[in-house]
Copies of this chain bind each other. A is one copy, B any other.
Amino acid sequence: MGEFDLIARLAAVLGDPGPGVSVPIGDDAALLAPDLVVSTDLLVEDVHVRRATSAPADIGWKALAAAVSDLAAMGAEPVGAVIGLALGEDWTADEAVAVYEGVAACAAACSCPVVGGDVSRAPVLMLAVTVLGRASEPATRTGARPGDVLAVTGTLGGSEAGRLVLEGAVPPPPDEGALAERHRRPRPRLAEGRALAGVVHAMLDLSDGIASDARRLAEASGVSIDVDLAALPVQPGVAAVARALGREPGAFAATGGEDYELLVALEGGAVAQAGVPLTVIGRVAAGPPDVRFHGPGADAGLAGFDHLAPRS
């Protein structure tokens, strides 16, 4: 069972949410009339984070940042968050407080106050974060048009490279500290999302890697997408990590999750006017929904992170 398939089946069970909901299940966030967006994100110990490589405060930061990134992807301004904390059996109250210190730091950095929550026991730590935001011009995944270019903010591959460095899977590269920080404390692209919302045709955040997320964009917009792996803006230090594993840097960056950059489709002429630094990485074409990768590593069968796949 894959994550995409299960979500499709669950959405079918739930059916049409009715006239008040203009962007239902499948986008980064739901849009509740007239401008209220809401999104929810799970962070589960040993699926999304490991205690061996992230401090409790880092885990709290990341849980809120991942959810706020969905607001960024809608071009929304945060209003507030609620958090369900399932405290793992071997977590102490002091560690739970440390998790919330990270949550509070991210809340301050993102101007997204935590306004409520719930707590329970569980076998492992789980944080369920729901964020609310306001978007006057919400950007969705559905508007990519044939002829658009595909572009991203920032750099890619850093979070996955940071994870591998922290887990000791590769020799530490010179950029070790920046890669670890990228993995532990991702920064949602809120300002960029708001600036881009009025310019782009479609937008989503890169939570699972372009290999998965470009497919989501292709399916939501009903378009075919070509991605040039050699054009991906790979974060410094990522190439060394990829090569230590015998992989091409572009392909590595396309499959690494949790970069939380924004992936957009827009007119080629609008890239320079977007007011946000963007790197063009591909093209949108007519055709059945599909993503084709080109360049070094494209023959390897790229897949992004699937939260339902068995873990090695």
Q: Is the CB of A307 within 8 A of B40?
A: no
A52 to chain B, nearest CB (A): 17
User: Which one of A78-86, A161-169, A265-273 is at the interface?
Assistant: A78-86
**Given A44-B86, A80-B21, A100–B14 Cβ distance below 8 Å?**
yes
Assembled-state Cα–Cα distance A85/B307 (Å): 11
Q: Is the CB of A119 within 8 A of B82?
A: no
Q: Which of B25, B29, B308 contacts A87 (CB 8 A)?
A: B308
User: Which one of A101-109, A142-150, A217-225, A229-237 is at the interface?
Assistant: A101-109
Q: Which of B1, B92, B93, B130 contacts A82 (CB 8 A)?
A: B130
By beta carbon, the residue of chain B nearest A88 is B123
Assembled-state Cα–Cα distance A20/B3 (Å): 36
Q: Is the CB of B100 within 8 A of A10?
A: yes
**Given A14-B100, A79-B20, A80-B32, A40–B87 Cβ distance below 8 Å?**
no
Q: Is the CB of B118 within 8 A of A18?
A: no
Confirm or deny: A295 has a beta carbon within 8 angstroms of a beta carbon on chain B.
no
- Number of A interface residues at 8 Å Cβ cutoff, please give it: 65
Q: Is the CB of A30 within 8 A of B115?
A: yes
Set of chain B residues within 8 Å of A18, measured between Cβ atoms: 113
Q: Is the CB of A123 within 8 A of B124?
A: yes
Confirm or deny: A254 has a beta carbon within 8 angstroms of a beta carbon on chain B.
no
A1-54 contacts to B (CB < 8 Å): 1, 3, 5-7, 9-10, 13-15, 17-18, 20-21, 24-25, 27, 29-30, 32, 36, 38-42, 44, 47-48
Q: A-side interface residues toward B, CB under 8 Å?
A: 1, 3, 5-7, 9-10, 13-15, 17-18, 20-21, 24-25, 27, 29-30, 32, 36, 38-42, 44, 47-48, 79-80, 82-87, 92-93, 96-97, 100-101, 103-104, 107, 113-124, 126, 128, 130, 132, 307-308, 311
Excluding A17-B113, A42-B84, 15 further A-B contacts by CB distance (< 8 Å) are A7-B117, A9-B96, A10-B97, A13-B97, A13-B101, A13-B104, A15-B104, A30-B116, A38-B132, A40-B128, A42-B86, A44-B121, A47-B121, A84-B84, A120-B308
